[in-house]
Amino acid sequence: MQTNLTEKATALFVSLMCAIMLSPAWALASETAAMVPDVPAAGDPGWWKWPVILLVVTFVMGIIAVLGGVGGGVLFVPIISGFFPFHLDFVRGAGLLVALSGALAAGPGLLKANLASLRLAIPVALIAATMAIVGAMVGLALPTHIVQLALGGTILGIVVIMLTAKKSAVPDVPAADNLSSALRICGIYHDQAMKQDINWKIHRTIPGLATFIIIGFMAGMFGLGAGWANVPVLNLMMGAPLKISVATSKFLLSITDTSAAWIYMNKGCVIPMMVVPSLIGIMLGSFVGVRLLKVAKPTFIRWMVIAILGFAGLKAMHKGLTVMGII
């Protein structure tokens, strides 16, 4: 009885937060902010409202990200760029730092537990980190409306991946390929749920690594993090067990996002008044989200995340097309 009530309260809370984030009021806020004159006015006594709203929204985002099983970066960039007054350049920089901080916080534990595999991460990270630099440079060189349009398309693509991608707890890998054998990319971990040791290896290493050319590029270009793409490639394409894929993906973000974050930082795309409230909000939200995970209904939350991303993706495309004069 009490569990039911808690579940309902959790669902109501998350629904309410999602509804607030989907509200047209946010769209109005961003349109209003877009009309701020280019010539700076004198000090605004209400300057603190946006950092505070950012803190609250990223707190909610942190909860939803944990419950929905997605990274903070993939929610942060489309939502904050779509509904806040900050320019996309700064949102992408902050998005990378949000994803980076989450990965840095999770990385040590995952490595020590031998769930994140350093041997699997090293070749992938070399490709993804290099391409993230290229992506960041291209993203900062392109006109904002083009990036916004491409971001919208990418977010909608992520929605499709979330709707269609399957997962395999322990994929069947009949034999490791030559490259992964030579690099000794394999391991053993103890699966507590299955109560057994899982001996894993990978295959299709070359096509898998080639896919990270695109993933790294997109991570750098949009500041999204890339867990949404890392996990299906590591798990379904290369055959790593799901737990190893999820953990290695999270750890990989700490390397991929590091390279892109430096590009954004060196270009000046860091505004502490945006970055710090976002990091604090996401991290506090994640702590709460982990506790709510016990009582929340993951399927319901996942649909909510898909709805939010779908709306944010359409909003980003709308913004890009409006500037181009197409709509």
**Residue 128 Cβ vs other proteins, minimum distance, rounded to whole Å:** 10
**How far is the C-alpha of 251 from the C-alpha of 121, rounded, in Å?**
8
Report 270-299 residues binding other proteins (CB under 8 A).
270-276, 279-280
Cβ-based neighbours of 132, under 8 Å, separated by 6 or more? 216, 217, 219, 220, 256, 257, 259, 260
- Residue whose C-alpha is closest to residue 189's, from 243, 123, 119, 250: 243
- The contact pattern for other proteins, residues 10-49, with x = CB under 8 A and - = no contact, is -----------------------xx-x-x-xxxxxx-xx-
Q: How far apart are CA 316 and CA 300, in angstroms?
A: 24
Residue 158 has phi, psi (to 5 degrees) of: -65, -40
Binding mask 233-262 for other proteins (x = CB under 8 A): ---------------------xx--xxxxx
Provide the 8-state DSSP code for 191. Answer: E
- Sign of CA pseudo-dihedral 251, 256, 259, 262: negative
Spatial separation of the C-alpha atoms in residues 99 and 62, rounded to whole Å = 11
Q: How far is the CB of 323 from other proteins (least distance, A)?
A: 12
How near is the Cβ of 308 to other proteins at its closest, in Å?
23
Which residues, 194 to 223, sit near other proteins by CB under 8 A? 197, 199
Cβ closest to other proteins, residue 74 vs residue 110: 110
CB closer to other proteins out of 9 and 34: 34
- Give the whole-angstrom CA distance, residue 183 versus residue 204: 13
Identify which of residues 74 and 185 has a Cβ nearer to other proteins in the complex. Answer: 185
- Compute the least distance from the CB of residue 18 to other proteins, in Å: 26
What is the smallest separation between the CB atom of 110 and other proteins, expressed in angstroms? 8
Q: Answer for the pair 269, 137: CB distance below 8 angstroms, yes or no.
A: no
Should residue 120 be labelled a site residue for other proteins when binding is judged by CB under 8 A? Answer: no
- Binding of other proteins at residue 136 (CB under 8 A)? yes
CA–CA dist 228, 225 (Å, integer): 8
SS3 content of the chain, % helix, strand, coil (to 5): 75, 5, 25
Mask of contacts with other proteins, 58-87, x by CB under 8 A? ---------------------------xxx
End-to-end, the C-alpha distance of the chain in Å comes to 51
**Smallest distance from other proteins to CB 72, Å:** 14
Choose, by CB under 8 A, the member of 53, 142, 183, 321 that binds other proteins. 183
Total number of residues binding other proteins (CB under 8 A)?
Answer: 76
DSSP 64-105: HHHHHT--HHHHHHHHHHHHSSS-HHHHHHHHHHHHHHHHHH
Half-sphere exposure of 84 (CA within 13 A, CB side): 27
CA atoms lying within 13 Å on the CB side of residue 28: 4
Binding piece for other proteins, criterion CB under 8 A, among 3-11, 130-138, 240-248, 287-295: 130-138
Choose between 2 and 192: whose C-beta lies nearer to other proteins.
Answer: 192
Q: Quick one: which segment of 153-161, 186-194, 226-234, 238-246 binds other proteins (CB under 8 A)?
A: 186-194
Q: What residues numbered 141-180 form the site for other proteins, per CB under 8 A?
A: 144
Query: Given the rule CB under 8 A, which of 19-27, 97-105, 162-170, 236-244 is the region that contacts other proteins?
Result: 97-105
Residues 99-118 that bind other proteins (CB under 8 A): 100-101, 104-105, 107-109, 111-114, 117-118
Q: Which is nearer to other proteins, 224 or 236 (CB)?
A: 224
